[in-house]
Amino acid sequence: MTQADTATPLLRARGITKHYGAVVALDAVDLDLHAGEVLGVVGDNGAGKSTLIKALTGAISKTAGTVEMDGKDIQITTPTEAKAAGIETVYQDLALVNELSITKNMYLGREIVRDTLFGHLFGTLDFAKMDTEIRALFQKLDIRITDIYREAEAFSGGQRQAVALAKTVMFGKRIAILDEPTAALGVRESKMAMDLVRSLKDHGLSVIMITHNMQHVMNYCDRVMVLRLGRLAAVRDVADVDGDTLVGLITGAAEDKVA
């Protein structure tokens, strides 16, 4: 029995269900995320992966189900409530505003106001402090973006993903949820993005990562859960499976003996 088997999960979801009329997108899915782990979520298109994380973070309303953090019930009905609980989410579209600079994107909705009378009265932003904090974080994460005043649309997909993940490091308190962090990236940029995913764990965050890449599951995740047709098909320690087994569980060619 592993420590994960005995410890109270950081995040525990039970019976997460989502109906769209007569369509069942999620059918009583359970999820445990333990402190300090990377949990992979895999499944074919339409398996319910994105629906699950949106239900967990309040981006969509659940039809049924409960969520606990640290063993206590928690109500998350909006993304704002998820952020307040220490959960940061990076979706495939990265939620970056193309027309805004890297600095403004990093602090969007969390801008630092100058600590002066005029700053507090008129909401004058302290760009110097924000810039300094961003540059220090980028250096720490080895993100090689120097011109943080350029608009986000001027950067490559890998650089934009790096900014989104750095924002998670800056503001994430407990949990980072990543929806296909290497989607549409080349090999080199995917490696850079996955190194940053690993850095999330190094910075004390627990991670839920949706991915189609079995190699990323095997190299970066501690456990993996498999969804199939809106249901939980399997949960395995990554050390106990290989890529072929995961593909079999995803397609239904193999049946789980543990879950």
pLDDT, position 93: 67
pLDDT tens per residue, the chain (259 residues)? 344 455 789 999 999 999 999 999 999 999 999 999 999 999 999 999 999 999 999 999 999 999 999 999 999 999 999 999 999 998 876 668 889 999 999 998 888 888 887 767 777 888 899 999 999 989 888 888 889 999 999 998 888 888 888 888 888 789 999 998 887 777 878 888 888 888 888 888 999 999 998 999 999 999 999 999 999 999 999 999 988 889 999 988 776 544 4
Residue 136 lies in a domain: no
Enclosing domain of residue 188? 3-99+151-251
Residue 107 lies in a domain: no
pLDDT, position 31: 97
Residue 258 lies in a domain: no
Cβ-based neighbour number of residue 118 at 10 Å? 10
> Could you give the CA distance from residue 217 to residue 246 in angstroms, rounded to a whole number?
10
pLDDT, position 258: 44
Q: How far apart are the first and last CA of the chain?
A: 14
pLDDT, position 94: 62
CATH number at residue 175: 3.40.50.300
- Residue found under tokens 């220490």: 86
Beta-carbon contacts of 246 under 8 Å, excluding residues fewer than 6 positions away, are 42, 214, 217, 224, 226, 236
Residue 135 lies in a domain: no
Which uninterrupted H or E stretch holds 71? none
Residue 171 lies in a domain: yes
DSSP string computed for 108-168:
TT-PPBPSSHHHHHHT-B-HHHHHHHHHHHHHHHT-----TTSBGGGS-HHHHHHHHHHHH
Distance of CA 89 to the CA centre of its chain: 4
Residue 115 lies in a domain: no
Please give the structure tokens belonging to residue 80.
Answer: 């704002």
Please give the model's pTM, rounded to 2 decimal places: 0.85
Considering its fold, how many domains does the chain have in total? Answer: 1
Residue 126 lies in a domain: no
Beta-carbon contacts of 20 under 8 Å, excluding residues fewer than 6 positions away, are none
Residue 187 lies in a domain: yes
